[in-house]
Each structure stands twice: as C-alpha cells, then as structure tokens.
Amino acid sequence: MAGGDDLKLLGTWPSPYAIRVKLALAHKGLSYEYAEEDLANKSELLLSSNPVHRKIPVLIHNGVPVCESNIILEYIDEAFAGPSILPADPYERAMARFWAAYVDDKLLAAWATMVFKGKTEEEKLEGKKALFAALETLEGALAKCSDGKDFFGGDTVGLVDMVLGSHLSFLKATEAMAGEEILRSDRTQLLAAWMARFSELDAAKAALPDVDRVVEFAKMRQARLAAAAAAASNN
C-alpha cells in the first residue's frame, strides 16, 4: 500500500456509495482491504466505526474511520498523492460539489420513485418523468463542466464522474427491466457517449457490479416491498 497506509473499506456490493469509494481508490492507485457488510446483521466494526449513522460506506485509514461517501472521496483526494478528484480552481470545485449533490438528491430520488418507492403506476410515471428531467439537466452540466472533453472532470474523471458513474449499473438494470433506454441518444447524446467511455475504464469495470446481478437484486427488492405493502394493507 502507498506509503505504508492501511486502508479498509466497509461496504455492500450493490451500494453506489461504496462503489464510488472504490472508484476513487482506484483513481489514486491505492490498494485496500474490502469487507462486505450484511446490513441485516451489521458488524461490530461498522457500528463502532460509524456510531452516528451506522451505515456504509466507511473507509478506515490506519485505524481511523471516515464516513459518508462524498466526504470519503474528498478525504482520499486530500490524503493521498495521485490524480486529483476535485478541481484546483475554487469555483470549479464548488460546481463539482454542486453537481455531485444534484445526482444524489435529484436523480437518485427520481430513480428510486420509478423503481422502488412509487406505490401506484401514476407515482412511478412521475418518477420516470423526473428521472428524464434530471438527466437532461445533467446533459447541460456535462457540456459546461467538460468544456468539450471526455468527462465532467475534463480530460480525466473527477468527483461528478465518480458519483454519477457509481449509479450506472442500476441505470442499465432499469433499462433492462423497463425495456427502454434511460440515457437516450436523441435527448442526452453527451451523457450516452460519456456512459460508454466511463464504462470502459478499468476502474469502472472492476467496481461496477454485473448488470444481470443488479436486475436480480432489484426484482427481489421490489418483491419484498410489494409483500410488505400487501401485509400492511391487510392489517
């Protein structure tokens, strides 16, 4: 490990929040130990490392835990040498944080409503509309942030690439389940090309879960939620 640093990541395989940490560690060329957590039976290490939120991911660096995925990404950027994750310019850095938050706040919420949280077909349709609107907004952000280059970070991936990229397997799984394109070439041409480039990165191939496995996971979760809703309505 770089500089004798001891790194351990606590996560779960489908978690986009853990996936983005894996992407950041690979970006810096860091090796680490990975521990898969069972969220139904959380380890003592997880509970003691993140006693406030009791959630993954947690990066443990030389015995000291760092929590919350985007905070972990910034910590990795500041603590280790190598290619930058955040821009050096203060304004560009602020914009990267803004769009990373947008992905998690707007795109993820819309996707979750479409796939999991929508209780009626009308609610799911509203989630779908909000997802497409968020993607069109990110299309404009990519055009501005990339300045005609390959990634949100310019010539190389940066914070926004990692945050959005961490959701790609779920977006592709949604396409497979819905039978239609989510990143449509007619409305989000730049994002569609970005997704193709990002998916070919060695770090992405290593970190992103298999789409078929994600489809199976999503269907199982949908079934559990439907069963829970049916049980609640009968009480």
In the CATH scheme, what is the code of domain 7-79? 3.40.30.10
- Considering Cα of 159, then 165, then 166, then 171, what sign does the dihedral take? positive
Who contacts 190 (Cβ-Cβ below 8 Å, separation ≥6)?
Answer: 139, 142, 143, 146
Q: Can you read off the two tokens belonging to residue 43?
A: 């380890």
- Write down the domain spans for the chain: 7-79, 90-215
Backbone angles phi, psi at 128, to 5 degrees: -65, -45
For the chain, 235 residues long, give each residue's pLDDT as a single digit of tens.
444 689 999 999 999 999 999 999 999 999 999 999 999 999 999 999 999 999 999 999 999 999 999 999 999 999 999 999 999 999 999 999 999 999 999 999 998 888 888 888 899 899 999 999 999 999 999 999 999 999 999 999 999 999 999 999 999 999 898 888 888 878 899 999 999 999 999 999 999 999 999 999 998 988 888 787 777 777 6
Q: What's the whole-model pTM score?
A: 0.92
Return the closest-CA partner of residue 61 out of 132, 23, 7: 7
Residues 75-86 have pLDDT tens digits of: 999 999 999 999
* DSSP line for 1-67: -GGG--EEEEE-TT-HHHHHHHHHHHHTT---EEEE--TTS--HHHHHHSTTT--S-EEEETTEEEE
How many CB atoms sit inside 10 A of residue 138's CB? 24
Helix, strand, coil shares, percent, the chain, to 5: 60, 10, 30
Domain 90-215 falls under CATH 1.20.1050.10: yes
The amino acid that residue 207 corresponds to is A
Distance of alpha carbon 56 from alpha carbon 66, whole angstroms: 10
In whole angstroms, what separates CA 189 from the centre of its chain? 21
Query: 35 - beta bridge partners?
Result: 10
From the number of C-beta atoms within 10 Å of its C-beta (0-12, 13-18, 19+), residue 113 rates as buried
Residue 33 backbone phi and psi in degrees, to 5: -95, 135
pLDDT digits (tens, 9 = 90+) for 16-46: 999 999 999 999 999 999 999 999 999 999 9
User: Reading across the β-sheet that carries 7-11, which strands appear in turn?
Assistant: 33-36, 7-11, 58-61, 64-67
